[in-house]
Structure 1
Amino acid sequence: MTNWIAADKQGRSVRMWQMPSRQEVETADDPIVMVGSTTVAARSLPCAAVPDALIRGDAGGWQMSPFEWDGDHSAGAEACIAGYASENANWDGVICVVRDSTVWAHVSAGEVISFQRFVTGTLAAALSVADQWDQDRFLAALSDAMSRPERLAAHLAKATQSSDMWGALLGAELTAARPYWLGQQVVVIGQGRGASALGDALKTQGVPVEFADETDMFLTGLAAAVSAQGGVA
């Protein structure tokens, strides 16, 4: 396969990798395949996790179209979901991708059935919540928020530490996402404390959790899409 560039756009930042070597780079001389654009047509669900074809970008290069469900889009999580699904063809369960926003996707036999997206990470950043906290305080705040998620704003108002804020934010998210994780196998794809905290929160509910690396799944998903199309030029 010829060389190409995998590009991930999150907010105002873009990361790039030379493919297939997976070496992170600062500049691009080869065809670019990008995820995270909001200008391309989305794929309605249910649909295959790995698309048959990429979309030509207006300014050149290629784009992987996001998923669309209930008026929302998958915000770049589609590549990570495609990566895990491509390596686990007969798997059935829920993939939770933790990026700027969190996407919970129900996947069955290589198809994405539905998803729900939360902006928990964006809220944490806006509140300047640190990524270090006391685990016991975090779990106590998580329990309080899950018992009264409608009081999220009040939980945050009285929070004095990052432990309390993360617990409140993730407690509200887990309660709203309950139809996705209850009785399901869950794979958390992400990096950093936010992903590990979400995994810890799920374990308090007795949910079996597997972790996968975000960059690995992202690049695997884009590579699967490029392969399905027969390459890029």
Structure 2
Amino acid sequence: MSKWIVAERHKGGVSMWEMPSRQEISGAEGPIVMVGGGAAPRSLPCTAIPDRLVSGEGGGWLFPPLAWDGQVSDGAEARVAGFVAANPNWDGVICVMGASTAWVHVSAGEVISFQRFVTAQLAAALDVSDDWDEDRLRAALDEVMTRPERLAAYLARAGDAGTLWGALLGAELAAARPYWLGQQVLLVGAGRSADALALGLSGQGVPVERADDTDMLLAGVAAAVSVHGGL
């Protein structure tokens, strides 16, 4: 099949790209593979790249998400597959930062476990600006990592974006410590929120690689289509 479509459903609607050109489009003509389409999730551990796509009720195909400990991967599964497709023997943690953040433990092409956080949603609910100050972010992050149980009280007296982002990310990093401590970390995401998380990790002495969100999404779906045998 020469042309097909990657689509991703999110709260703002649906984003689509024509493959293999990777051009973002507004309308779809051709076979579609949907990320976030409601397919039954795969239980862990399992291969990062699914061995088959799921047939959609209205036609097209669905990229199956992952399930672990009562959570569903919320789109992170396709980004993880994209990185693993190019790095099949990589061991470490892939942190996918979008509407929610997923910390995903990957080893030898398999997803072992993951943990999701809704830090970005909390920041949006608090109307936190992306115009944060680095020094204030670092200070708040360090303080809340030391006493994460005081997060709500800390937020009540925080009055600037750097302090708010630092406090929220400090609580997340404290809870996600088993995922990043002593691990290779790849951060998939864009924008100032992803920059803030990278800054927080580097402050803990964690070397962080970065990857583009859309590149990983499209590479992951393409890898699944290939394993599936085409569309």
Tell whether the 8 Å contact from 1:2 to 1:231 is kept in structure 2 after alignment: no
User: What stretches of structure 1 move > 6 A for 4+ residues in a row?
Assistant: none
SS at structure 1 position matched to 2:24:
strand
Gaps of 5+ in 2: none
CA distance in 2 between counterparts of 1:164 and 1:73 reads: 30
Deviation, structure 1 residue 127 = 1.0
**1:146 paired residue number:** 145
1:24 corresponds in structure 2 to 24
- Alpha-carbon contact 1:85-1:110 (below 8 Å) kept: yes
Provide the rounded CA distance (Å) in 2 between the counterparts of 1:13 and 1:148: 38
Distance 2:148 2:35 in 1: 32
Counterpart in 1 of 2:205? 206
1:55 maps to a residue whose letter is: V
Give the match for residue 12 of structure 2.
12
Deviation at 1:177, TM superposition (A): 0.2
The residue identity in structure 1 corresponding to 2:77 is E
The one-letter code matched in structure 1 to 2:215 is D
After TM superposition, the structure 1 = structure 2 runs for residues 37-76 of structure 1, keeping only pairs within 5 Å, are 37=37, 39-76=38-75
TM-score by length of 1: 0.97
By how many angstroms is 1:167 displaced?
0.4
CA distance in 1, matches of 2:151, 2:40: 34
C-alpha separation in 2, matches of 1:127 and 1:14: 25
Deviation digits for residues 39-85 of structure 1 (CA, Å, limit 9, x no counterpart): 32100000000001001111211111101000100001100000001
In the TM superposition, what are the counterparts of 1:75-90 in structure 2 within 5 Å? 75-90=74-89
Q: In the alignment, is the contact (CA less than 8 A) between 1:7 and 1:15 conserved in 2?
A: yes
**Secondary structure of 1:202 counterpart:** helix
Q: Secondary structure at the match of 1:33?
A: strand
Alignment of 1:228 onto 2:227: yes
Q: Distance in 1 between matches of 2:59 and 2:151?
A: 44
**Residue in structure 1 matched with residue 188 of structure 2 by the alignment:** 189
Report the Cα offset of residue 2 of structure 1.
Answer: 2.4
Shift, 1:135, TM fit: 0.4
CA contact 1:100–1:121 (8 Å) conserved in 2 = yes
Which residue identity lines up with residue 82 of structure 1 in the other structure? A
AA of the residue aligned to 2:145? M
3-state secondary structure, aligned to 2:96: strand
Percent pairwise identity: 62
What secondary structure is seen at the aligned counterpart in 1 of 2:137? helix
| Counterpart residue identity of residue 32, structure 1 | I
Q: Take 2:163 and 2:10, find their aligned partners in 1: how far apart are those partners?
A: 27
Q: Supply the distance in 2 between the matched residues of 1:214 and 1:69 (Cα, whole angstroms).
A: 22
- 2:62, 2:2 → 1: CA distance? 17
AA in 2 matched with 1:81: V
1:167-208 Cα distance to aligned partner (Å, 9 max, x none): 011000000000000000000000111111111100111111
Q: Take 2:36 and 2:121, find their aligned partners in 1: how far apart are those partners? A: 16
Displacement of 1:13: 2.1
Structure 1 segment 126-137 matched on structure 2, within 5 A: 126-137=125-136
SS at match of 1:157: helix
